[in-house]
Chains A and B, each alone.
Chain A
Amino acid sequence: MTNLTDLTVAEIRDGFRAGDFSAREVATSFNANVAAAKALNAFIVETPEKALEAADAADKAKAAGETLGALSGVPIGMKDLFCTEGTQTTAASHMLEGFVPTYESTVSGKLWAAGAGMLGKLNLDQFAMGSSNETSYYGNVISPWRRAGGDNAALAPGGSSGGSSSAISARLCPAATGTDTGGSIRQPAAFTGISGIKPTYGRCSRWGIVAFASSLDQAGPMARTVRDNAILLEVMAGFDPKDSTSLDLAVPQWEANLSSDLRGKTVGIPKEYRPDGLNAEISAMWDRGIAWLKDAGAEVVEVSLPHTKYALPTYYIIAPAEASSNLARYDGVRYGQRDLPDGAGLQDMYAATRAAGFGPEVKRRIMIGTYVLSAGFYDAYYTQAQKVRALIARDFELAFETCDILLTPTAPSAAFALGEKQADPLAMYLNDVFTVPASLAGLPAMAVPGGLDSAGLPIGLQIIGKALDEQTVLNASLAIEERSGFAARPDKWW
């Protein structure tokens, strides 16, 4: 009998429809894996009953001959940044501990409406701020991967969608939602040997997702295959009048149009992404990726994105600025924690509540954001950053005059050990060097595994596409997936 938890989303969907197994069998298998993997700390809340409820509904619908949803019979994990009606939503913060939304986020609602079931709420960096999943109030998520050779150091699953990446690579769920502000889908995917796509800004509604930096935040899927990502993204995307930046466009049939034939396509290799001192194994992987895309029929050209080195400092002005504004809502009045010292007035209550409710990285970003927006500094920091951001976006526009997609590494290294970079916030920020530029320009970008490094850890490649051209991004990723033959998985120790 097939191990159901080894199946992809497409295989579960198709096998369920063909009657090879019931949705309940699938949900039960994944529930068991979730329950047995506490050591990974991937979930903040487990909801086995929700997974079973959706499975039973799918089995019943199938038995009655009703039309099945696109994800009927498929259980998934939900990043705990999406509001889920009746199920605690914390953004991995103490501030929102005990917050039970009375409404459903648009994206999660679409997934449930398509028949998916919820295995639980996945851990993340607090308010999605972090690149290693070490800022969660509910403890670090541990990667299921370990270095070869008996080194049992706990490794980072990446962040902020680290619960999602850890759970998928450990076969606790076949797919999960993620959100990406500066690389929070792509970097964790790369660290754990899975795939994930951040669509064009505006494809997925932000309504009901706990906000971090609104001009950058985008939801997207994470899964083990490119096809699974296409399946989920089709369900998650679509116009939503409740999000003023939602794009009023039809959702393409990404899965049906998947093709790894890249003849007629041109791939740009941005020379600024190969700085002196780039990790030799990452560089070699990139070269293999170039060869794979050529093999798929694409032409390869060198392109220049001259403002690349300014992307990270730009991001670390704009994202904290928007965060300082978005997180002003946590005041101890309407929802979340309240800390009311004896005899405190309203202002004291705000300050005490926010001191107790936010972790150190969240406070750091709120305060940096407050500073760069404050009187006298606004133009020097924030306005300047928004101008540089325009130049970064223009770099991409010019590059896309000579190519259709860009191929780059996803992260500057394989997964690092927990604790290794935590002492220096700046060193942690540098992890996002290859993912942040596409976020600033709102472009679709996907991480796909390429292989293992000499320590036996996954390293990945990133495809960046033109705005709204997720199809070519998915197709090029598929071409890499077919040629890399990546099938490595972590040995079970948890």
Chain B
Amino acid sequence: MSIDLQTVKKIASLSRISVTDAEAEAMVPEFNNILGWVEQLGEVDVTGVEPMTAVIPNHQRLRVDAVTDGNVRDKVLANAPQAEHGFFAVPKVIE
């Protein structure tokens, strides 16, 4: 399967990464190279094989449903590019 310029731009958009036309064009052969190479996995017979979910058997732990942390608002906001009135600030999303 071959990837074209339009597909690269769609992947970029899904990835929320803006790319210029020149950047997208440079990515077309790169992606085709890499994806062409990984496609060899299709030749492996996986009949009856379950996809791996955990490398080391480990049971999911439960803990008491209780608050164990919190009250650290200022720490949470300390690295925000823009924080106002105790909240993260973002550009207007509703017109």
Q: Which residues of B contact A241 (CB under 8 A)?
A: 61, 63
Interface flag for A422 (CB, 8 Å): no
Is B78 a contact partner of A100 (Cβ separation < 8 A)?
yes
Q: Which residues of B contact A351 (CB under 8 A)?
A: 13, 16-18
Is A384 a contact partner of B46 (Cβ separation < 8 A)?
yes
Is A317 a contact partner of B15 (Cβ separation < 8 A)?
no
Is A370 a contact partner of B30 (Cβ separation < 8 A)?
no
Is B11 a contact partner of A345 (Cβ separation < 8 A)?
no
Choose from B15, B38, B49 the contact partner of A366 (Cβ within 8 Å). Answer: B15
Is B41 a contact partner of A385 (Cβ separation < 8 A)?
yes
A383 to B50, CA, bound (A): 9
Is B44 a contact partner of A345 (Cβ separation < 8 A)?
no
Interface flag for A201 (CB, 8 Å): yes
Contact string, B35-55, partner A, CB cutoff 8 A, digits 1/0?
A: 101111110101001111111
Q: Which of B1-45 contact A (CB under 8 A)?
A: 3, 7-8, 11-19, 27, 30-31, 33-35, 37-42, 44
Is A337 a contact partner of B41 (Cβ separation < 8 A)?
no
A370 to B78, CA, bound (A): 30
Is A384 a contact partner of B82 (Cβ separation < 8 A)?
no
Is A380 a contact partner of B42 (Cβ separation < 8 A)?
yes
Q: What number of A residues sit within 8 Å (CB to CB) of B?
A: 73
Is B35 a contact partner of A371 (Cβ separation < 8 A)?
yes
Is A388 a contact partner of B41 (Cβ separation < 8 A)?
yes
Is B88 a contact partner of A352 (Cβ separation < 8 A)?
no
A102-B78 contact given A367-B11, A387-B49, CB 8 Å threshold? yes
A429 to B33, CA, bound (A): 12
Is A335 a contact partner of B41 (Cβ separation < 8 A)?
no
Interface flag for B71 (CB, 8 Å): no
Stretch with Cβ within 8 A of B (4 or more), from A61-69, A119-127, A306-314, A406-414: A306-314
Is B31 a contact partner of A371 (Cβ separation < 8 A)?
yes
Q: Which residues of B contact A364 (CB under 8 A)?
A: 27, 30, 34
Q: What number of B residues sit within 8 Å (CB to CB) of A?
A: 51
Interface flag for B91 (CB, 8 Å): yes
A244-B61 contact given A102-B75, A337-B81, A345-B92, CB 8 Å threshold? yes
Stretch with Cβ within 8 A of B (4 or more), from A282-290, A389-397, A471-479: A389-397
Is A346 a contact partner of B44 (Cβ separation < 8 A)?
no
Choose from B3, B41, B72, B90 the contact partner of A384 (Cβ within 8 Å). Answer: B41
Is A384 a contact partner of B37 (Cβ separation < 8 A)?
no
A441-B55 contact given A102-B79, A350-B16, A374-B11, CB 8 Å threshold? yes
Is A333 a contact partner of B34 (Cβ separation < 8 A)?
no
Interface flag for A21 (CB, 8 Å): no
Query: Whole-angstrom distance from the CB of B76 to the nearest CB of chain A?
Result: 8
Interface flag for A426 (CB, 8 Å): yes
Interface flag for B67 (CB, 8 Å): no
Is B61 a contact partner of A338 (Cβ separation < 8 A)?
no
A101 to B76, CA, bound (A): 10
Query: Whole-angstrom distance from the CB of A294 to the nearest CB of chain B?
Result: 31
Is B91 a contact partner of A340 (Cβ separation < 8 A)?
yes
Interface flag for B66 (CB, 8 Å): no
Query: Whole-angstrom distance from the CB of A180 to the nearest CB of chain B?
Result: 13
Choose from B19, B41, B52, B56 the contact partner of A200 (Cβ within 8 Å). Answer: B56
A333 to B93, CA, bound (A): 13
Is A390 a contact partner of B79 (Cβ separation < 8 A)?
no
Is B52 a contact partner of A352 (Cβ separation < 8 A)?
no
Contact string, A334-367, partner B, CB cutoff 8 A, digits 1/0?
A: 1111101000111111111011001000011011
Q: Which residues of B contact A387 (CB under 8 A)?
A: 44, 46, 49-52
A313-B17 contact given A334-B88, A387-B51, A425-B34, CB 8 Å threshold? no
Is A346 a contact partner of B46 (Cβ separation < 8 A)?
no
Is B17 a contact partner of A354 (Cβ separation < 8 A)?
yes
Query: Whole-angstrom distance from the CB of B36 to the nearest CB of chain A?
Result: 9
Q: Which residues of A contact B35 (CB under 8 A)?
A: 368, 371
A347-B55 contact given A310-B41, A390-B50, CB 8 Å threshold? no
Is B80 a contact partner of A334 (Cβ separation < 8 A)?
yes
Is B38 a contact partner of A355 (Cβ separation < 8 A)?
no
Query: Whole-angstrom distance from the CB of B10 to the nearest CB of chain A?
Result: 9
Q: Which residues of B contact A29 (CB under 8 A)?
A: none
Is B56 a contact partner of A202 (Cβ separation < 8 A)?
yes
The interface centre, meaning the residue of A244, A310, A384, A467 with most chain B CB atoms within 10 A of its CB, is A384
Q: Which residues of A contact B42 (CB under 8 A)?
A: 380, 384
Query: Whole-angstrom distance from the CB of A459 to the nearest CB of chain B?
Result: 26
Q: Which of A201-243 contact B (CB under 8 A)?
A: 201-202, 215, 241
Q: Which residues of B contact A358 (CB under 8 A)?
A: 17
Query: Whole-angstrom distance from the CB of A327 to the nearest CB of chain B?
Result: 9
Is B38 a contact partner of A316 (Cβ separation < 8 A)?
yes
Is A338 a contact partner of B82 (Cβ separation < 8 A)?
yes
Interface residues of A (CB under 8 A from B): 98-103, 200-202, 215, 241, 244-245, 247-248, 307, 310, 313-314, 316-317, 324, 328, 331-338, 340, 344-352, 354-355, 358, 363-364, 366-368, 370-372, 374, 380-381, 383-391, 393, 425-426, 429, 440-442, 467-468
